[in-house]
Amino acid sequence: MKAIIIPLIFLVVLLPVFTHGQRQFKYCPAPPLARRGSCSSNVDLTCFDIVLANYPASLMPTRIRCVDVGPNKSQCTSQIICN
């Protein structure tokens, strides 16, 4: 009986230690950021650059996309960690 109880206790005690680093973050849409030029135009800053300049790395921006909103106008959309 002890042969089963002791490993089970170790499993219960150590499991939170190993799963703590695997936390899942919740992402929310970030406000769109204006960008000059269309998405296909060759401009100085890409959406990746614009999003990283506006949001700190701690918010882990993801799903960065460019969306055309008119002639010579576009927006950068992304998702960031919700608070």
Q: Cβ distance 74 to 38 under 8 Å?
A: yes
Among candidate residues 59, 55, 39, the one with its CA nearest the CA of residue 47: 39
Euclidean distance between CA atoms 22 and 3, whole angstroms: 30
List pLDDT tens digits, range 1-57.
667 787 777 766 766 666 555 568 899 999 999 988 888 876 677 899 999 999 998
Q: Cβ distance 3 to 38 under 8 Å?
A: no
Please indicate whether residue 2 or residue 58 has the higher confidence score (pLDDT): 58
DSSP assignment string, 46-74: -HHHHHHHHS-GGG--EEEEEEEEETTEE
pLDDT at 65: 94
